[in-house]
Amino acid sequence: MEYSFYDFLKLIGSLALFLYGMKIMSEGLQKVAGDRLRKILTAMTSNRIMGVFAGVLITALIQSSSATTVMVVSFVNAGLLSLTQSIGVIMGANIGTTVTAWLISLLGFKVDVAALSLPLMAVGIPFLFSNKSSNKSFGEFIFGFSFLFMGLSMIKANVPDLGSNPELLSFVQHYTDMGFFSIILFVIIGALLTLLVQSSSATMAITLVICANGWIDWQLGAALVLGENIGTTITANFAALTGNVQARRAALAHFVFNMFGVLWVLAFFYPFTNLISTLVDSISGQSNTALVISYKLSAFHTIFNLLNVAFLIGFVNFIEKTVCSFIRKKDEDEEYRLRYISGGILSTSELSITQAQKETTLFAERVHRMFQLVRQLLEVTNENEFNKLFSRIEKYETISDNMEVEIANYLNDVSEGRLSAEGKLHIRTLLREVTEIESIGDSCYNLARTIYRKFSGKDDFTAQQYEHIHLMFALAEESLVQMLAILEKGNAHDASFAKSFNIETEINNYRNQLKNQNVLDIDNKKYNYQMGVHYMDIIAECEKLGDYVVNVVEASTDVKEKRV
């Protein structure tokens, strides 16, 4: 056989270069337009139609439906998008990914872009070594684009010639003339291949090459494309495994949407493919050339996804109910949603401020819940339960960071409107509160990490240390409860203000007392130095948390007193 194992390795390497190019190109664009992508998603998902357009636009830009769906799943996990909004974006991502097939068909088969790859790299190298991060990201995009088409060119050069080596895929060729069973088989092959390489774009490139070379007819290539639409949903489902219930539902919605599309196309497969074949032949004036076959596959991919979106856009609520029935909410599942504000059109200025105030209070409630999980973490002794609880706290930290950004951006948008002096003061206060509440979340995460380091070691705290930590935790808990009461009430003369400051003073005094006692206890060999470090890290972090709580209270006090 002329095709050696070395040739096979070159094919795998070519595929690796194609995938690496796709990854670098996608990541470069995401870095250049990262903030804009987030704003597009949150602003363009006010209704399902706009959500579809957002999905099309972002996927066409970053050239990866997987990247878009993973991004959407992460936003759902963070509560920045609802499940309904995410389904619309995912539908659009399926349309946007068809741009890749057309790019390969129009450039990869018609123009030798690989010949321009090295000159393009020469253009990109100054950007790549620029000190400015946006220029560096643009340079990564240029290199990724070059690698992608170099990889495609190498795939075409290293794919085995089945005419000279028919035994290589003889096992597949035995199943190409079994009628509709062959179609089903190639759908399964396409799904498995995409699952293996984790990129529908790479599988699409391989499909275009083998069909253009005439090794399988274009209808079997269309069956591979259908399989790729199933296989590509696996990436989002993998990303959602560690997410909350809403994220897992969004990933399942992607699978349900694509699976339904594959089923209805299979029901009308031959009429549908014959119609597309006739349409492309009539427009191109040719038939069965390598270029025309690539056009047919690209047209099939595009029309299939357009029709699928057109059919299902009215059934978003039904899809949502379906996935919710499959993945039911458990007691430990938290739904992280921005409840009172969204990325659509702003309300009137005063109403917008009220909505932001409610969202800030909800933010504080979630951070308080995070601290309660930290208290639970200290008590857990089972390793699996400990890791599971620590993972939940890590998710809360991500949620905390995202909520701060979203509420702050919303307030900045509100501040651009016409506001009274009192309204402007309220916005400044809310921005300060949001910043300090996020710092409380950081303190909770730092506490969890210290407990994790202690848990990973061989030693444990003494009974007296546990007693002191529990007392400090109780004081911190009391201060958080008081902060929530102040945020929820509108009374500027509430006695709880003074109580918050008193609790903070008590925390400071207790910290100082334990700090001095810790030095003596280490000298007296009551515990080793490392356990003393972990112990004081927890005590000191609780004191910092108390400071952040007082900062929130002070901010709230200032604005409420000026209102009176």
pLDDT digits (tens, 9 = 90+) for 2-42: 667 787 788 788 878 877 876 777 677 667 665 566 666 66
CA 216, CA 172: separation in Å to the nearest integer?
10
Q: Longest Cα pair distance anywhere in the chain, in angstroms?
A: 93
Q: List pLDDT tens digits, range 351-392.
A: 778 888 888 998 999 999 999 999 999 999 999 999 989 988
Domain co-membership, 372 together with 520: yes
Give the angle 509-511-514 at the CA atoms, nearest 5°: 110
Q: So what's the pLDDT on residue 345?
A: 43
Domain co-membership, 28 together with 106: yes
Length of the chain: 564
Is position 219 within any domain? yes
Q: So what's the pLDDT on residue 163?
A: 47
Going by C-beta distance under 8 Å and a sequence separation of 6 or more, which residues neighbour residue 108? 149, 152, 153, 156, 205, 208
Domain co-membership, 308 together with 457: no
The model's confidence at residue 82, banded by pLDDT at 50, 70 and 90, is confident
Rg for the chain, CA atoms, rounded: 29
Q: Distance between terminal CA atoms of the chain?
A: 90
263, 291, 326 - which closes a domain: 326
Q: Which of 44-53, 90-99, 434-443 has the lowest mean pLDDT?
A: 44-53
Give the other-Cβ count within 10 Å of 471's Cβ. 12
The model's confidence at residue 241, banded by pLDDT at 50, 70 and 90, is low
264, 292, 326 - which closes a domain: 326
Q: So what's the pLDDT on residue 171?
A: 54
Is position 340 within any domain? no
Is position 500 within any domain? yes
Q: So what's the pLDDT on residue 451?
A: 95
Q: How far is CA 384 from the centre of its chain?
A: 25
CA 539, CA 446: separation in Å to the nearest integer?
11
Is position 306 within any domain? yes
Domain co-membership, 450 together with 507: yes
The model's confidence at residue 80, banded by pLDDT at 50, 70 and 90, is low
Domain co-membership, 307 together with 411: no
Domain co-membership, 306 together with 182: yes
The CATH number of residue 389's host domain is 1.20.58.220
Q: Burial of 13 by CB count in 10 Å (0-12 exposed, 13-18 middle, 19+ buried)?
A: middle
Domain boundaries, position 535: 349-563
Domain co-membership, 44 together with 192: yes
With beta carbons less than 8 A apart as the criterion, state whether 482 and 500 touch. yes
Contacts 24+ apart (CB under 8 A), 234-240: 234/194, 234/195, 234/198, 235/66, 235/69, 235/70, 235/198, 236/66, 236/69, 236/70, 236/72, 236/73, 236/90, 239/69, 239/70, 239/73, 239/74, 240/73, 240/77
Domain co-membership, 458 together with 538: yes
What are the start-end ranges of the H helices in 159-199? Answer: 170-173, 180-197
| Per-residue pLDDT at 271 exceeds 60 | yes
Q: Which residue has the higher pLDDT, 478 or 14?
A: 478
Nearest alpha carbon to residue 64 among 182, 209, 239: 239
Query: Torsions phi, psi of 102, nearest 5?
Result: -70, -35
Q: List pLDDT tens digits, range 414-456.
A: 887 777 778 888 888 999 999 999 999 999 999 999 999 999 8
Is position 466 within any domain? yes
Q: Which two tokens stand for residue 473?
A: 């935790």
Q: So what's the pLDDT on residue 29?
A: 66
Q: List pLDDT tens digits, range 304-339.
A: 889 988 888 888 888 888 888 888 776 555 555 566
CA 44, CA 118: separation in Å to the nearest integer?
38
Domain co-membership, 519 together with 413: yes
Is position 147 within any domain? yes
Domain co-membership, 526 together with 459: yes
Domain co-membership, 293 together with 373: no
Domain co-membership, 215 together with 282: yes
Is position 339 within any domain? no
With beta carbons less than 8 A apart as the criterion, state whether 504 and 479 touch. yes
The model's confidence at residue 111, banded by pLDDT at 50, 70 and 90, is low
- Mean pLDDT value across the chain: 80
Question: Span 397-419, mean pLDDT?
Answer: 82
Nearest alpha carbon to residue 475 among 541, 523, 414: 541
pTM above 0.75, yes or no: no
Is position 334 within any domain? no
CA 386, CA 122: separation in Å to the nearest integer?
51
> How many structural domains comprise the chain?
2
Nearest alpha carbon to residue 366 among 306, 463, 438: 438
Q: So what's the pLDDT on residue 497?
A: 76
In order of 99, 157, 226, 352, 505, the CA distances from 193 in angstroms are: 20, 20, 12, 49, 63
